A and B are shown apart, each in its own frame.
Chain A
Amino acid sequence: MNFNQPTHPGYEQFTQELSSLISLYPPPFIYVNDVQSYRTTTSVIDDILEDLSERPPSLESPTKIYHARIDGVASSQWGLDREGDDGTRWNENLDSFLHGLRALHTQLCKLGVEVAAEGTESYEGICFVIVVKQAEILKDALLELMAPLPCLGEMAQLIICVVFISQVRRKDIKPPLGAAPEPYFMDIGSPTKEHIVKHLLSQFSTLSTTDASSSSQSITPYHPSLLPLYRHFTSVLCDVCFPFTHDPQDLAYIAVASWPGYAKPVLDEHRRYLAAKANEMDLDVDGELEDGEEEQERRRQDALALKPPGEDTRMRLTRLFNPSLSAALEVLLPRLSNAAEWAALNEPPPDLLAMPHGPPLRPVIPAAAAPSDITTGTANAPVGTNSALMTMGTLPRMARFLLVAAFLASMNPAKSDLRMFGRGLDEKKRKQRRQVARIKSKAAAKIPQRLLGPAPFPLDRLLAILGALLEENDAETRLPAPEFTIPGEYTDMEIARVGVLGLINQLTSMRLLFRTSPVDRLDGPPMYKCSVGYDSVLGLARGLKIPLNDLLWDPV
């Protein structure tokens, strides 16, 4: 039986169980639960079903198997996406879906009986397998399907096996009141490191065969002779990355991004060797001719063929590329960049192996993925702020002041404003928060605001803080205006401009500020919230020469 071949390492037991279940006599409802390698499992199940449905009915499994796949994401358009002979649609609702299944069944049965009559195959009936991927989404999107879908076979009076694949436990998406029968559970454990290495190796062979068919002349990183090196590479890669993710597909993605760079020095070396050899051959061309032409040709080919590099080269490559692998993980796992960009950016210098031994290569982080402040180690820049950072670079000066003011208003308690921003007559500037000795109490420790997230604040407070900031940091840069005599009068005029209010609206539409009160509420000032993170605001504040940490009630 060819399906028992371990094309998917680690799935041998599962493959055997599922294929024997489905090919012999399927239970009505199977629930496959996989937390860590969901996508791999899905493709494994696809392969198993594809394989089973392609097999002609035999004595071992006389039922013919048909399978359909419903993706939870696209489930609004579920069902048999085709029409009956009389033009009726089969995906209107569950009723017509069942009609469609029955019609299809009779049609296929007729076909099967005809084939069996010719005596080539034994035939005992038809089995439908319906696979629902990401079944947890059904709970939100099509709750009314959760109960009847598992009993589809009973309702249509056919042999139907419904397979749910989900990352979520059955308990979390079970319809209430025991509406659906309990499924036959199949759990997929987490893949081990060895299985992932095998998986990656099996991908190498597919890549190299496709490569070989396209152009046999050019030597690519997926040349079959590089397989030993690739084996070494994958084990190193898994050593570095396996603790962080167990998803084979993610690791394969990182491998695809890093391997061309890893193999390039070897290919360069080979190319140099070829060039040297070619020169040598040119010199040797009128030398000995006693050997047979073929023999010489063969030897020449042998000498020119790509050979796997030796142990010391491997060790050297590993040392050179180790930091780059973990950096690739950090960037590629959240998909802050893509594999192609990573590979292009981190291409090693040419003829790396010919150079004297140097320090490990420094990974180049793509600009879009570089956290604003990776060196400070805080690195809590959330995914997506990088694009926000870029737009913030183009903001006008007043908008930057507004953002800093909004951040302060979100992070400081309102009661602290007078202490932080107020300037008394005695010119004693800000009083910092007193460090109170911590009293151990039963009550829960207070969490600093920066961890709880921004708090909403009214527009008036934002304007007041903006005024304080402008008075401190912007007054010197203004044009002289002798008509303003009272201290702070100029600033008052600045913050009362329509432009400022317009900027606030603009920032809200850019989602740099969130408006938390409904737009149509008339009483009370509108409330806002700052949606920009600490790192970005720190960058802005530096540009404006505002000492941000001094103004924070609870500095980082």
Chain B
Amino acid sequence: MRLNGTLPAHLHPCVTAQKRAMLRSLHDVGMTTNDIAYQQLTNLLTGTLSRGEGNSCMVLGPCGSGKTKLVERCLSDINESPIVLRLSGWIQYSDRLAMREIAHQLAQQTGSSFLSNVDDVTESFPHQEEEEEANPFLDTPPDAVPVTVPGISLPPSSHLPALISILPTLARPTVVILDAFDLFALHPRQSLLYCLLDTVQSCRASPSTKGIAVIGVTSRVDTIQLLEKRVKSRFSGRTFRTAAPQQLEDWVKITKTVLSSKCTSGDHDNDDEWQILWQAAVDKFMSAKTLLNALNETFSITRDVRMLKKLITMVVTHISPRSPYPLPTHFTDAATLQRARPRFPFLYTLSYPALCLLIASIHADTAGHPVFSFEMLHETFRDQVRTSASAPIQINGGSIGMAFEALISAKIFVCAAAPTTTVVKEFIKYRCVVERDEVKKTVDKTGQINLKKWLNRAQ
């Protein structure tokens, strides 16, 4: 099999189709480690959906271990179609926002509105509500809503129990998914969690009511400890754990599965011809020693499958009709770029004045002044220009000032003190976050002798 030759033109559509198939299969990488959790969660959901139980549980696992995917998979595999309420602690950062979202999703899925009367109330007495919030003597402190544009109508928190208690009376069972569960525990008095879990606990199987399940999804291990006592006692405490694959073989398997996903470009003959070529290329790719090393290295640094996905993505995007096969070098390149990112990969491409400023900052540091102002660096630079026989390029005020600003905007120079209005711009204090070694390497790489000499004087 010759894989090095150029690809015949009639196979070019296959390349694109293959790329597409691989990227798509990257999105649905299944994890064998989560099979037990899948079984447990399915059992729980079946209990709620078919027997009308009230259930609560928590799906716990590190980031990228497939928690959300697990929940979605369970929901889609179940025959019945419950009402699904999806909340996220990142978006619904207050109980009132969460209530509004619950009402909205309920209205969408059942067709009838649940908060319309509430909305009317708040809109007709907007001032009264504001007064209520400002009253410090209320025994129920108003919910802290950090950023809300004035004019948004939010239901008052007193409506919360009423809204939640509707859930079991609906025509279909309800599944509430709380993404970032730990953030809901940070809401004042955990009212939403309390109401939800209380409703779950008091849910009795009867012909008039339907089941309700509350699934908390979180990566924070101590979430249960965050719950107040009254909330914790209503939570079932069931925890389903997800985990990323624990073996290097799993990673190899994932890589191989993704790469050898089937594609169709529309033409069967071409597809067959392409598949043979492609499979050979994948085999060659997978057996390359550099690839296995890079995989092993990455696996020992992180067990996060998302990292592997990113690396494969980069290999896939580098495939084009001109180089139609996956290359292990692309994988190693991806590893340096995506995995452990170099601190300042762009340093050596900085402009000349910026490099001069960096060296001047190193000089300031060796002189015992890790904190410096623009004027100090500029003075050092001017001295250098004056004293060195082979002076660096003459630079006046303009461009070196701009280089300083460029370094600030790239956060190489960071402010050492809080900015005040009474300090002129040139005297604001900065620190340099680039280490001396990095500057040295950079200067070596640029190969400018006078800069190198200047830097070496800073001992």
Within the assembled complex, what's the spacing in Å between the Cα atoms of A154 and B63?
14
| Chain B residues in 8 Å Cβ range of A489 | none
Bound-state CA distance A553–B257 (Å) is: 76
* Cross-interface CB contact of A187 among B63, B68, B92, B337, cutoff 8 Å: B337
Q: Which B residues touch A36, using CB under 8 A? A: 346, 349-351, 406
In the bound complex, how far is the Cα of B395 from the Cα of A329, in angstroms? 10
Nearest-neighbor residue (CB-CB) of B317 within chain A: A17
What are the residues of chain B within 8 A of A60 when measuring CB–CB? 13, 16-17, 20
A531-B424 contact in complex given A244-B351, A374-B396, C-beta closer than 8 Å: yes
B contacts with A, residue count (CB < 8 A)? 79
Q: Are B399 and A184 within 8 A (Cβ)?
A: no
Alpha-carbon separation in the docked complex, A184 to B27 (Å): 14
Interface string of A405-448 (1 = CB under 8 A from B): 00000000000000000000000000000000000000111010
Contact with A along B103-121 (1 / 0, CB 8 A): 0100000000000000000
Report Cα–Cα, A59/B63, bound state, in Å: 35
Q: How many Å lie between the Cα of A334 and that of B400 in the bound state?
A: 10
> Contact between A516 and B346 (Cβ–Cβ < 8 Å)?
no
Q: Are A25 and B24 in contact (CB under 8 A)?
A: yes
Which of B164-172, B201-209, B370-378 lies at the binding interface? B370-378
Q: Is the CB of B395 within 8 A of A244?
A: yes
Q: Are B148 and A93 in contact (CB under 8 A)?
A: yes
Output the least CB separation between B390 and chain A (Å).
15
Task: Decide yes or no whether A349 CB sits under 8 A from chain B.
Answer: no
Q: Is the Cβ of A443 less than 8 Å from the Cβ of B317? A: no
CA distance in complex: A447, B375 (Å): 11
Q: Which bracket fits the contact residues of A?
A: 35 or more
Does B146 reach chain A (CB closer than 8 Å)?
A: yes
- The answer to whether B317 and A148 have CB atoms under 8 Å apart is no
Q: Which of A321-377 contact B (CB under 8 A)?
A: 329-331, 333-334, 336, 371, 374
Is residue A158 within 8 Å, beta carbon to beta carbon, of the partner chain?
no
Which residues on the A side are within 8 Å of B367 (C-beta)? 444-445
A371 contacts B399, C-beta separation under 8 Å: no
Residue among B16, B398, B423, B427 making CB contact with A336, cutoff 8 Å: B398
Minimum CB–CB distance from B334 to chain A (whole Å) comes to 9
Interface residue? B152 (CB, 8 A): yes
Residues of B within 8 A of A529 (CB): 422
CB distance from A87 to the nearest CB of B (A): 13
Q: Which of B93-101, B186-194, B248-256 contacts A (4 or more CB under 8 A)?
A: B93-101
Neighbouring A residues of B422 by C-beta, 8 Å: 514-516, 529, 531
CB closest residue in chain B, given A385: B424
The segment from A108-116, A211-219, A226-234, A449-457 found at the interface with B is A449-457
Main secondary structure of the interface of A (DSSP, over half): loop
**Given known A-B contacts A25-B24, A181-B63, A244-B352, A20 and B317 have beta carbons under 8 A apart:** yes
What is the bound-complex CA distance between A333 and B395, given in angstroms?
A: 13
Task: Return A92 CB to nearest CB of chain B, in Å.
Answer: 5
What 0/1 pattern do residues 298 to 322 of A give for CB contact below 8 A with B? 0000000000000000000000000
Closest Cβ–Cβ distance, residue A556 to chain B (whole Å): 10
Within 8 A of B (CB), among A149-196: 151, 154-155, 157, 167-172, 178-179, 181-182, 184-185, 187, 189-190
Do B338 and A443 have beta carbons less than 8 Å apart?
Answer: no
B341 touches A447 (CB 8 A): no
Q: Give 23 pairs: A residue, B residue, CB < 8 Å, sorted on A.
A: A25-B20, A25-B27, A27-B310, A61-B20, A92-B152, A93-B148, A144-B147, A185-B338, A187-B337, A189-B346, A246-B351, A330-B396, A333-B398, A333-B402, A334-B398, A334-B401, A380-B397, A380-B426, A450-B375, A451-B373, A451-B375, A451-B376, A453-B373
**Additional A-B contacts beyond A25-B27, A93-B148 (5; CB < 8 A):** A147-B90, A184-B338, A244-B403, A330-B396, A379-B397
